Amino acid sequence: MTDAELLIRSTRVITPEGQRPAAVAVAGGRVAAVLPHDAPAPPGAHDLDLGTDALLPGLVDTHVHINDPGRAEWEGFATATRAAAAGGVTTVLDMPLNSVPPTTTPAHLEVKRRAAREATHVDLGFWGGAIPGNAADLAPLHAEGVFGFKCFLSPSGVEEFPELDHARLTEALGEIAAFDGLLIVHAEDPGHLAAAPSPEGSRRYADFLASRPPAAETEAIAPLIDLARRLDARVHVLHLSAAGALPLIAEAKASGVRVTAETCPHFLTLTAEEVPDGATEFKCCPPIREAANQDALWAALADGTLDCVVSDHSPCTADLKVPDFGVAWGGIASLQLGLPAVWTAARRRGHTLADVARWMSTGPARLAGLDRKGAIAPGKDADFAVLDPEATFTVDPATLHHRNPVTAYAGRTLHGVVRATWLRGALVAEDGDVTGRAGRLIARGA
């Protein structure tokens, strides 16, 4: 303990055992010990007292679209990871699509890493992609350190990342199961989407909602679970919106199928009823659904059916958010706002900061196998978010760090101001300003 360089005190430290007053000692960029609140500072250590500001483990956001290179005008590594740092997110995993090239071969992964290496403000890793024709690239990508593989079951929205039909899904999952990898799935059934009315030409959110019915999700998830059971494979359901799929996931988990699922801040905090006509900053796939559906998602977080809450930050340039729900790009930009957005709704529903840390840090770290992330405990990286849980602010998109100042949260008043962010013992953001760049590229198992 005597070699600690930093001691951070708070009356509200969020540890795996819950919230308590404590002093967290940091040595060599890791948590050395969690001590009593009044523990003496080791000689030479910087003694920092946060008062009543809460000390949370840095958030782990395993669902971020950075689009760099190729569509860097939508989002780039520097801007996205600055937004992450300012928002208390210390680890980001980048999705394999919307950049050109997509992360579907080891050579493409190297292109992505080269673009990110000098730019990242937080720790950054990559998912690989499973698309038609790249089954032979999956094992080499796994060996190169991607955290798992994303696939779509319906059109992704970009032509360089096609979906898998059932035969190709079976082939890819078999391949991934052979090295006990993880398949993460955008689960909407293409047949149900094709049969639904098109939202083309409509400014009405109800028309968009009708075009992505809940059955599209449940009818994609059911066969995915069957396949995971048959192949004894690990699968993860991305951005679950339809509460009707929750019983399927709960039953599968109870029967030993290795399935996990996430939901997103927008599904937990925004409702279909409140989306104004033409407000395509609220468009994402699957869609934000009604308030009753949202209540069921919260219940599923509370009972563990849902494992984590991650942003699905998927921005684009403002001109692509035309006021036509059929044509506008689908994706919600929220990387910097996930913690206050979720906390604002969580506190109203009687949940604690420890719950939020479990959903937004511990859960995603476990999903990705990030053993050194996701908790304030000895041996973990000293990644922290300092949050004033009672303070409020009104979202002004112009003050956010992501590249294009568009977000569905504009004008909302949120509880929880991120005062500072620490990455491996280094201060990287303070009061919204990104002050340091200590981010590293990370790889599975490293």
Q: Which residues bind Zn ion (CB under 5 A)?
A: 312
Which CB sits closer to Zn ion, 94 or 312? 312
Which residues are CB-contacts of 118 (< 8 A; sequence separation ≥ 6)?
A: none
CB nearer Zn ion, residue 15 or residue 314 = 314
Nearer to Zn ion, 105 or 314 (CB): 314
User: 3-state DSSP call for residue 151?
Assistant: strand
φ/ψ region of 118 (left if φ > 0, alpha if ψ in -120 to 50, else beta) reads alpha
Nearer to Zn ion, 219 or 312 (CB): 312
Nearer to Zn ion, 41 or 158 (CB): 158
| Residue closest to Zn ion, measured at CB | 312
CB of 87 to Zn ion, least distance (A): 17
User: What is the number of H-type helices and E-type strands within the chain?
Assistant: 13, 18
Q: Tell me what percent of the chain is helix, strand and coil, each rounded to the nearest 5.
A: 30, 25, 45
In the complex, least distance from residue 236 CB atom to Zn ion, rounded to whole angstroms? 12
- Quote the tokens at residue 50: 């946060």
Query: For residue 42, is the peptide bond before it cis, meaning its omega torsion is within 30 degrees of 0?
Result: no
Sign of CA dihedral 402, 405, 407, 410: positive
Q: Which CB atom, from 68 or from 312, has the smaller least distance to Zn ion?
A: 312
Least spacing, CB of residue 98 vs Zn ion, in Å? 8
Give Rg (Cα) of the chain: 21
Nearest approach, Cβ of residue 157 and Zn ion (Å): 10
Give me the least distance between CB of 315 and Zn ion, in Å please.
Answer: 11
Main-chain phi, psi angles of 68, to 5 degrees: -120, 125
Distance of closest approach, residue 333 Cβ to Zn ion, in angstroms: 12
The answer for residues whose C-beta is within 8 angstroms of residue 441's C-beta and 6 or more apart is 113, 116, 117, 120, 123, 124, 125
Q: Shortest gap between Cβ of 368 and Zn ion (angstroms)? A: 15
Please give the Cα distance from 230 to 124 (Å, whole number).
33
Q: Which is nearer to Zn ion, 312 or 383 (CB)?
A: 312
